[in-house]
Chains A and B, each alone.
Chain A
Amino acid sequence: MIPEKSHFLYPAALFAPREPHIINTILGSCVAVCFWDPTMNIGGMAHYMLPLWNGEGLASPKYGNIAIERLMDKLLSFGSKKYNIKAKIFGGGEVIDTHAPYFYIGQRNIEIAEKMLGDMKIPIIASSTGGKMGRKLIFNTYTGEVRQRYVKRQNL
């Protein structure tokens, strides 16, 4: 099934609709976490830019630890059961050349997702992370399918 409605997900936002949607997004060093509940055919996506909120600014889903928690809450509020939810993670490319391990934002973004999903016991059933390319994603919240294309840096 291809949902009629579509939504473009901006960085630092999350989107988990009750009705089936196509969610589009574009990733560089950001990570997108897709949650999908196959028993209810609902899903949502969070697109975060940094791994952890450090108390600066607002506690927004710009930060992985907040984004993943909020996305989970959202699906649970629709009646999903945690043990039904599956995850797919994308992005975290090192699109900016750097040699200081300190600044491996992409890598740290991926790690926080893996760590948190591991703690939450949510299986990661598909992933495409790292590398030096950006990604475009199309996520079908009804079927849980994700289409991905690599994009060159300058297109980000």
Chain B
Amino acid sequence: MSELTDKELIEELKKRFDQNKKALAEVQHLNEELKEVNKKLEDSEALKSHFLSNITNEIINPFSSILGLAKNIMSLKKADWKKVQSMVSMIYHEAFNLDFQLRNIFVAAKIEAGEIYPEVLNVDIRQTIKSVIDAFNYELDKKELNVDYKFDIEPVRGDIYYFKTDPEKIKLIITNHLSNAIKYSHKGGNIYIHVWEENENLHISVEDEGEGISKENQRIIFDRFKKLDSGIDSIHRGHGLGLSINKGLLDLLDGDIDIATEEGKGSKFTITIPEAKSNISGFAFDDNEMFFGKDAPEEGESEEETF
């Protein structure tokens, strides 16, 4: 073995020090991450118990309103029948909200149980989104909000643009975004919904002119049960599940979500979804196939694969 010159020795030492430094930095980084994750898990557990009391309000309040209104209608005198229409529209509104909340909760439960699957159909995206907007007419009127819906896709053939995806899931995703946009909008503001296609992906953006989301909050909005307090109404309804559900559903559809937001100016959520391919549920047999039988491999045998 040849001797190292001093210079080579120093070079070598330097290199090793650098490596050590790098390793140390990585460990420190991992440690930080670990701390953060730990904190998050603790929070999540605490929030879960909050969630129960929270959800009670979410379900019981609309129900009480519905019951109360129905009772009022029953006891109305014939002369006051004109009031029925507005009361029924309030009942409809409360029931709509209840239905929306329950849907979210059931979907969240299904995602957490791993029992949710895409059910792909040809979807008329323009109409699907239109129906979501229409369903919020009551809320939009109440806050005097204006929805600017821009659909930027020309159908290739025929009059209707179809996209292969799961209609129910898309609907819930848009409903959650629109509901949030309404919740965090100032009275009399605008909400922009824009749909376009790029590289065979469907893009849908929902933009509001509300409060926006701070840097810090952007990191937690997808966590379950998290609600931001910095809203316009003093009390925000909701269970803090909407965005975490959207994330889960987009995972299922192979999609993605992007946020652009500035505090005080508003937020813009853009979702991107690839067109669904047909499912592959089986395949032909050939020699590329391996077989893992029912028994454990015997001692001494290759423990890898039983052909």
Contact = CB atoms under 8 A, between A and B. Distances in A.
B283 to A, nearest CB: 6
A153 to B, nearest CB: 15
Contact of B223 (A15, A26, A55): A55
Contacts of B280: 8, 24, 26, 136
A25 to B, nearest CB: 10
B279 to A, nearest CB: 5
B296 A86 contact: yes
Most buried by B among A24, A26, A38, A143: A24
Contacts of B111: 12, 58, 60
Interface in B6-48: 26, 37, 40-41, 43-44
B292 A148 contact: yes
Contacts of B251: 11-12, 49, 62
A61 B279 contact: no
A120 B158 CA distance: 58
Nearest to B280: A26
Contact of A149 (B40, B245, B283): B283
A128 B305 contact: yes
Interface residues of B, number: 44
Nearest to B26: A102
Nearest to A7: B281
A13 B113 CA distance: 8
B43 A55 contact: yes
A97 interface: no
B289 interface: yes
Contacts of B108: 58
Given A10-B117, A147-B290, A150-B288, A58 B295 contact: no
B55 to A, nearest CB: 15
A145 B281 contact: no
6 contacts: A10-B117, A13-B115, A14-B115, A57-B222, A143-B294, A149-B286
A105 B26 CA distance: 17
B112 interface: yes
B290 A149 contact: yes
A2 to B, nearest CB: 12
Interface string A123-136: 10111100000001
A31 interface: no
B248 interface: yes
Contacts of A55: 37, 40-41, 43-44, 223
A67 interface: yes
A57 B114 contact: no
A24 B281 contact: yes
A8 B57 CA distance: 38
B37 A10 contact: no
Given A128-B305, A149-B289, A57 B224 contact: yes
Interface in A88-137: 88, 102, 123, 125-128, 136
Contacts of A10: 117-118, 252
B117 A58 contact: no
